Chains A and B, each alone.
Chain A
Amino acid sequence: MSETRTPLLQVRDLAVTFGKGRHAVSAVAGVSFDVFAGETLGLVGESGCGKSTTGKALMKIVTPSRGTIDLEGVEITRLKGRDLRNARTRMQMIFQDPISSLNPRRRVKDIVAEPLDCWKKVTGDERSAIVSKLLNEVGIDPFVYGNRYARQFSGGQCQRISIARSLAMRPKMLICDEMVSALDVSVQAQILNLLADLKAEYGLTLLFIAHDLAVVKNVSDRVAVMYLGKICEVGPSDVLYEAPAHPYTKFLLGAALEADPDAPTHGDVLEGEPPSPIDPPSGCRFRTRCPLAQERCAAEEPILGDIAPGHQVACHFPLIARTA
C-alpha cells in the first residue's frame, strides 16, 4: 500500500469515554488510522472492543473525548451546527439491524428521499428521478415497491433500502457497521456483491466494521484488528490473514471456523474472555490472555509501528520478522 496516496479520512488518537471518574469506561482508548480514497478498510474485533463506537464517533453520533478526525482535510471533531451537517453529507453510515433502522410507517421512496428533503436542494421531478435511480441500483423496483411501507420488506431488502438512502447525498465515504451480520448467508452474499458494485460505480471509500473475519477479508483492501479499545494490528488483508504479526490476530483467525471438514483442527483456543474496559490491564491490553507475554508487556505499552511496508503492529514480540 503506497503511503503517498492521500487519506480521505485521517483519525488520530481518537478516544471515547463513557461515564466519569471511577465508572468511566474508555470504549475507544486512542486509535489512529487512515482510510485512503477508494479503498475499503475493514475494522474487526470481538464484541466490546470498541469497533462500533469508533464508527459512531466518526459520525459524531457519540462525542469523542479526545483526538482528531480529518475528513478531506477538514477537522470535524470541533464542527457544530450547519458545518457539521454539511460534513455529514460526505460520510454516511449503514447500521446493523436493517429493519429497525428504517421507519416502518414510512413509504420506501420517502425514506430514500429523506436526505434530499432535509437539504431541499432538488426540485420535485429531480427528487423522484434520483429516488428511482437509487432504488433501481440497489435492486428494488421503484414503480412496484416505491409506495410500500418499510415494514413490508424482509431484512435483506431493508438493507438494500438503507444503502439507497445512504447514497442519496452522493457521499464520499460509507461507514458500514455490521451491515450483513443479521442476514442469512445467501442474502449476505447478494448484499456484499451489491456493495462491491456500488463502491466501484460511486467511487466510494468504505470503513467496514464487522466481527466476521471471512466477510471482512472478502470486502477489505486493508484490515485493522481492534482489542479492548485499541488497534493491535493493521495490514493488507491478504498479508494479515496469511501471516499475522500480533498474537491476538493469530488467535482470532485460529478461532474462525472454516466450512471444510478437512480444515486443520482448531489450533490453540484462546482461554478466558476480554478483561473489562473499566479497568484495562497495564501495558499491553492483550497480555492477560497472551501466551507470549513477558514482564515487559506489563510494564510498557507497545506502540503501533511498522513491521513491514504498510503493515503495522502493536506488540513487543511480534510473530513475524521486522522488515520495515
Chain B
Amino acid sequence: MSDAERLLVVEDLATTFETATGPLAAVGGVSLTLDKNETLGIVGESGSGKTVLARTIMGLQPRTNVTVTGSVLLNGHQMVGVSEAEKRKYWGTEVAMVFQDPMTSLNPVMRVGRQIDEALRVRLGMSKEDARARAVELLELVGIPSPQRRYRAYPGQLSGGMRQRVVIATALACSPQLLMADEPTTGLDVTIQAQILNLIDELKERLHMSVVLITHDLGVVATRTSRIIVMYAGRVVETGSTRDIFHGHRMPYTRALLESSPKVTSPSHTRLSAIPGRPPNLSRLPAGCSFAPRCAYATARCHEERPELRAAGPGHDFACWNPLAATGARPA
C-alpha cells in the first residue's frame, strides 16, 4: 500500500497521566496505521487504554497533568504537540468521533437540529438556512424518520438508538475522512445495535470514510473490520487481519478473551474458561509482560522481560515469549 493510501500513521504513541500515586501509563507506546476506506477494530477490556488511545489520536486529551509523546500523522498533519487551534482545523473535516454514551454526548437543552447545524455554520461557514437544510439531510442520511420534525426535537424526546443516530449525524456533518467510533453500541439493545452497526458500515461505503471501531465486544468487530488490534494494559499485544485474530491468534490473551465470552452457538451450561485475576494497575505495571500474572503459559522470562511485537506473518504481529502454535491450538 503506497503512502498516499495511508490515512493515519501512529508511531510509538504514549499517554501518561500524572496522578497522586505517580505516573499512570494509560497508553504505553502504540503504533498503528490505517488505510483509506478501511475499518480497523480496537479491542480490549476496560482499562486497556483503547479509549485514551482514540482520544489521543483525536488530540482530545486534558490540558494539564498529561504527557503525550510519539507521533500521530492524520492525512499528513501532525496531531501531537501542536496547538489546539491547529488541531481544531482537522476536527470535523478530517476526523470525527462518536462517543459511547449518546445520553451525555448531546446537549440536553438544545434542539438536536441545532447541534448538527452548529458545526456546519461554524466550520463550513454555511448560512442559517443552508445549514438547516443540510442538517435535515443528515438526519435523513442516518435513517431518522420524519427528519423535518425531529430537527426540532430535544435529545430527551428521542430513544437511545435515535440519539446515537443523531450523534453520528453530527460527526458526519463536515464529511470527515476518518470516523472514530468509541463503543458506539454499548448500552443499546441488540436489535438497535445491529441497526447502528449496519448504518456505520453503509455510511462508510457511501461516504468513502475510514472507520476505527473501538469495543470490548469481539462480536462487534468479527464481521465488520478488516484488521483488529488487541490491547492489554495500554499496549498492543496482537494485531492482524480479522481472520488472523480469530483463527490464527498467537498471543494467549487473545485466545483467553475469545474463549471467556459465552457464545450463542454453544450449548447451554458450557463451562467458560475464565481468565483468573484481573488487569494490572496501570501505575504499577509488572516488569515483564503485563499479562504474565494471569497467563497459563507464563515462564520466568515473561515476568522479567517485556516482549516486543514481532511478526507472525504478513501484517500479523504479536507480543509474547511463549506464543501459541500458528494454528492457535497449543503453545509452541
Question: Which residues of A are at the interface with B, using a C-beta cutoff of 8 A?
Answer: 46-47, 154, 156, 184-190, 192-193, 196, 211-215, 217-221, 237-238, 241, 251-261, 263, 265-266, 269-271, 273
Contact = CB atoms under 8 A, between A and B. Distances in A.
Contacts of B189: 46-47, 211
Interface in B253-279: 256-258, 260-276, 278-279
Contacts of B279: 184
A184 B258 CA distance: 12
A190 B222 contact: no
16 contacts: A46-B192, A184-B279, A186-B257, A186-B275, A188-B260, A193-B272, A211-B190, A213-B190, A214-B261, A218-B268, A251-B191, A255-B190, A259-B217, A269-B194, A271-B195, A273-B162
B102 interface: no
A260 B246 contact: yes
Contacts of B191: 46, 251-252, 255, 269-270
Contact of B267 (A211, A238, A251, A270): A238
Q: Which 10 A-B pairs have the closest CB atoms?
A: A257-B219, A189-B274, A259-B218, A189-B260, A186-B275, A46-B189, A189-B272, A218-B262, A184-B45, A255-B194
Contacts of B223: 257, 261, 263, 265-266
Contacts of B150: none
Interface string B270-303: 1111111011000000000000000000000000
A239 to B, nearest CB: 10
Nearest to B198: A269
B195 A269 contact: yes
A238 B274 contact: no
B271 A217 contact: no
Given A257-B193, A261-B223, A217 B262 contact: yes
Given A255-B190, A270-B194, 20 more contacts: A46-B189, A184-B46, A186-B256, A186-B257, A188-B261, A192-B262, A193-B271, A196-B271, A215-B262, A217-B262, A217-B268, A218-B268, A220-B268, A237-B268, A238-B267, A241-B264, A256-B190, A258-B219, A258-B265, A273-B192
Contacts of A154: 278
A192 B45 CA distance: 17
B159 interface: yes
Contacts of B155: none
A261 B243 contact: yes
B72 interface: no
B256 A221 contact: no
Contacts of B252: none
B190 A258 contact: no
Given A257-B220, A259-B218, A189 B261 contact: yes
A187 B264 contact: no
A190 B218 contact: no
Contact of B194 (A211, A217, A266): A266
A168 B46 CA distance: 31
A156 B262 CA distance: 17
A157 B90 CA distance: 43
Contacts of B197: 257
Contacts of A270: 191, 194-195
